[in-house]
Structure 1
Amino acid sequence: MGGLRIGVLAPLSRPGWVEAGQQLLGGMELAVREAEAAGGVDGRPVELLVRDTAADPQRAAAAVDELAALGVRAIAGEFHSVVARAAATRADRLGVPFLCSSAVLDALTDHPTELVARLAPAQSHGWRVYAEFLLAAGHRRVAVATQRGAYWESGARVLHERLAADGGGVVELDADPGTVGDALAASGASAVLLLTGFPDPAVPIVRAVRRDRRLAGVLIGAPAGQPEFAEWERLLGADAAGVPFLRHLPERLDPLGARVEAALREHLGTEPSFVAFEGWDTVTVLTAMASSGAADWSDVRVTGSRGPIRFERVPGIGVRQWAWAPVQVADRDPAAPGRWRVLHTG
C-alpha cells in the first residue's frame, strides 16, 4: 500500500512572498514529522510533493497539472490569493481536492464546488473585522494607498462598504512613495492603509509617511499582514512598529496551540507566523481525513492548532469554508518591536 502523497503549492522564490512560503511549508513539514512519529496514516508514510509558485498563477496551474498526473491524494497550500484562485480553478477542473491554506480572496472559484475547501477566513470577513477596528479607534475617513489587482480592489471594496455603513469613507491614493505624502495631507484622512506589494512599494511608503511632519498623527495600517514577518522589521527598524495588521490567530492559544507554537519555533528556527499555523493545520486536516475515510470536506471534524475545524457552506463563498478561523488585529509594540500587541479580535 502506498503512502499519502500531498501536493504542496507555496511561493518559495521572488516575486513571491518567500518568507510566507517558507513559514507555510515549515508548518506542513512539522505536521508530517509528527504524523510520521505517530505511525503515519494507517501505517502509511506521508509525503509532500512541493512546487514553487513564485506568485505566478500560470506556474501554479501547471504545477496542479503535474501533481494531478503524479496521483496525489490532494493539493494544498498557497499564500497569494490570485495564485490560489488559479490553482483552485485548475484542481476543480481536474477533479482533484484542493485545500487552500492561507489565501483569502472570496471568489476562489468561478462557481460553487465540493472539491475545494479553505482554512483561511474569506477576505470579506477578515477585512470587515479590520474596518470595525478602525471605527472603534475613531477612524472614519481612511485613505488607501492601493495597487491594481483583484485582491487589493476586493479589499478596498470591503473597507468602503463597512466604513460607509457607519458614516465613514475611503479615499484612494496612488501607491507612489514620491507623492503619497502630499496626497495624504490633502485628503484629511486620519489613517492610511497599505494595499500594496511588499517590500515595494510598501516599505518606501511607510518611510515617506513617517518622515513627513504633516502626517505625525496619521495611523499607518496594513490589513494584508505584511508586519507579521521578520523581514518587515529588518527593513524598517523602528518604523516597523505601530502598524496594525490582520493575523489568523486566537487572542490566546489553547494547550495544543501552545505546543504547536513551541514546536514550530524549534522547527523554523524563528518566531512562527500565523501562516505556519495554517500550514500545520492543513496537513493535520488532510491526514485526519485520510485516516477517517471521510468522503468529502463536509465530513471533516478536526481539532486544529487554533480551534475545532469543520468546513461549511457560507453564503457568497463558493467553496467549503472554515467559518471562521480566529481573526485578530495586532501590531508591533513601539516600546519593543519584537513584541506583539493584540488591538482587536473578531
Structure 2
Amino acid sequence: MSTSPGAGRTDGSPVRVGALAPLTRPGWDEAGRHLLAGLELAAGEVNDAGGIGGRPLELLVRDTAADPLRAAAAVDELARLGVAALAGEYHSVVARSAAARADALGLPFLCSSAVLDTLTEQPTEWVARLSPPQSRGWRVYADFLIGAGHSRIAVAAQPSVYWASGARILRDHLAPRGGAVVELDMGALAPEAVCDALGAHRATALLLLVGAPEPAVSIVRAVRRDQRLAGLMIGAPAGQPEFTEWATLLGDDGTAIPFLRYLPERLTPLGARVAVALRERLAGAPSFVAFEGYDTIAVLADMLRAHGVDRASIAASWPGVAVEGTRGPIRFSRVPGIGVWQWARPPVQVVDRDPKEPDRFRVLHTGTEI
C-alpha cells in the first residue's frame, strides 16, 4: 500500500519513507490504525507545505500484522524500493526485528511506539525511538503501585520477551521497596484458575501482561465476577484499555484499570491542532499512538529537509534533531543501557477509564524520573 497525501501541491520525484504498522490480526490493528492516521496526517501537511524541497513525501505502507518475520521482509523490500528512511511500528518484538534489519542494511529507522529496551542487541547509529524505554515507563508504573498501597502484586503473563522484560522491571523496582511479584503462567492457567491463584497468593493487584483482546478480556471478566476478589485492583501497564475496542468489549468492567499512556498534562499548541484533525480522521478520540505517528513524520521531514535523502547523512543527524512535537520538544540523546538514539524525556502518565464516564480518562500518576 502506498499513500501520498497532498502530493498534488508538489512536483518532482517523490521522497519515499517506509511506514510499518500492524493493520491486521493478530496484530493490535486498532493501534496500527491510530499510528497510520498520525503518519498520514503529518505526511499530508508536509506536502501541503511544499514537501521536501519541492518534492512530495510519499509513504510506502506495509502491514506487519505483529509478525517479526513479515516485518523483516518488509524492511528488505522497502530498502530495495529506495526509501530514505523507515517509520512506525507498535509491537516491540516486531520493531526489534525491523530495527535489526535496518541496522544491517544501513537504513535509518525512527521507531514510533515500541518500548522494549533492547530494541537492538548492539548500539547502533541507524535507529532512533520516540516512545520511552520500557524500563522507564514500567518503573513509573511500579511507583504508582507502591503509592497506591499495593505491595503484593500478581502478574498474569504470556511467554514473550516483552512480557518477561516487564515482569523483571517490576520485580527489580518493587523489591527494594518491600513489594513482591508473583507470576501466573497464562500458558497453563484458564481465567477461572487465575482467580483461584489470586486468592491463594493474597495479591492486592493483578497486572495483565497478556495480549488483547484475548486473553485479557476473559481474565477481566472472570475477576470482576468473582466475589472473592471484590477489592482487587486490575492493571494493564502495556495500555490495553487505551483503545475503543476495550471499552466496547468490556463496558463498565473495563474501567478503573490503570495503564501507561505517553501524553503530557497539556499538549503543545501544535498538539492541540493535530488532536482536532486526528479526531476527524479517526472519527473518535486519538490515542497517544496517533500522536507518536504524527511526531515521527514531523521529525523525519525536518531531517530530510536539512540533510537530503542520503541514508548515512540522515543517520548521522539524530543528535542534531530539535523539533517541536505534539507532546513537547523532541531531541535525541544516548541513554545509558539503550542501544538506539532515544527521545530521553517523552511524557509518561498512569491513567484509567473513569467508572462514572467510561470515555473519560483520569490521570492517576505522572512520571518524573528518568
| Residue in structure 2 matching 1:258, options 268, 272, 297 | 272
TM-score, length basis structure 2: 0.92
State the one-letter code of the partner of 2:360: R
Partner SS for 1:121:
coil
CA–CA distance in structure 2, aligned partners of residues 205 and 81 of structure 1: 23
Residue matched to 1:191? 205
CA contact (8 A) 1:28 1:283 kept: yes
CA–CA distance in structure 1, aligned partners of residues 15 and 330 of structure 2: 21
| Residue in structure 2 matching 1:113, options 124, 129, 136 | 124
Q: Would you identify which runs of 4 or more consecutive aligned residues in structure 1 move more than 3 Å?
A: none
The gaps in structure 1 that reach 5 residues or longer are none
Shift of 1:115: 0.4
Shift of 1:268: 1.5
Partner SS for 1:342:
strand
Residue matched to 1:151? 162
Residue matched to 1:181? 195
Residue matched to 1:129? 140
CA–CA distance in structure 1, aligned partners of residues 209 and 290 of structure 2: 23
Shift of 1:76: 1.1
CA contact (8 A) 1:114 1:296 kept: no
Q: What pairs with 1:198-217 in structure 2 (closer than 5 Å)?
A: 198-217=212-231
Residue matched to 2:239? 225
TM-score, length basis structure 1: 0.99
CA–CA distance in structure 1, aligned partners of residues 224 and 230 of structure 2: 7
CA contact (8 A) 2:268 2:325 kept: no
CA–CA distance in structure 1, aligned partners of residues 133 and 258 of structure 2: 19
Alpha-carbon displacement from aligned partner over 1:50-94 (angstroms, at most 9, x marks no partner): 000010000000000000000001011110000000000001000
State the one-letter code of the partner of 1:6: V
CA–CA distance in structure 2, aligned partners of residues 256 and 11 of structure 1: 26
**Size of the alignment, in residue pairs?**
346
State the one-letter code of the partner of 1:205: I
Q: CA RMSD in A?
A: 0.9
Partner SS for 1:186:
helix
State the one-letter code of the partner of 1:51: R
Shift of 1:27: 0.4
Residue matched to 1:334? 355
Alpha-carbon displacement from aligned partner over 1:96-142 (angstroms, at most 9, x marks no partner): 00111000000001100010000000000000000000011011111
Shift of 1:2: 2.5
Residue matched to 1:285? 299
Q: What pairs with 1:293-312 in structure 2 (closer than 5 Å)?
A: 293=307, 295-312=316-333
Give the share of equivalent positions with the same residue, in percent.
68
Shift of 1:41: 1.6
State the one-letter code of the partner of 2:184: L
The gaps in structure 2 that reach 5 residues or longer are 1-11, 308-313
Residue matched to 1:161? 172
Residue matched to 1:69? 80
CA–CA distance in structure 1, aligned partners of residues 131 and 265 of structure 2: 16
CA–CA distance in structure 2, aligned partners of residues 267 and 234 of structure 1: 20
State the one-letter code of the partner of 1:334: P
State the one-letter code of the partner of 1:98: F
CA–CA distance in structure 2, aligned partners of residues 165 and 264 of structure 1: 42
Shift of 1:254: 2.5
State the one-letter code of the partner of 1:337: P
CA–CA distance in structure 2, aligned partners of residues 276 and 328 of structure 1: 16
CA contact (8 A) 1:79 1:101 kept: yes
CA contact (8 A) 1:281 1:304 kept: yes
CA–CA distance in structure 2, aligned partners of residues 246 and 61 of structure 1: 28
CA contact (8 A) 1:241 1:333 kept: yes
CA contact (8 A) 1:74 1:96 kept: yes
State the one-letter code of the partner of 1:261: A
Partner SS for 2:177:
coil
CA contact (8 A) 1:23 1:273 kept: yes
CA–CA distance in structure 2, aligned partners of residues 72 and 33 of structure 1: 17
CA contact (8 A) 1:28 1:280 kept: yes
Partner SS for 1:165:
helix
Alpha-carbon displacement from aligned partner over 1:266-317 (angstroms, at most 9, x marks no partner): 1211110000000000000000111122642111111000000011000000
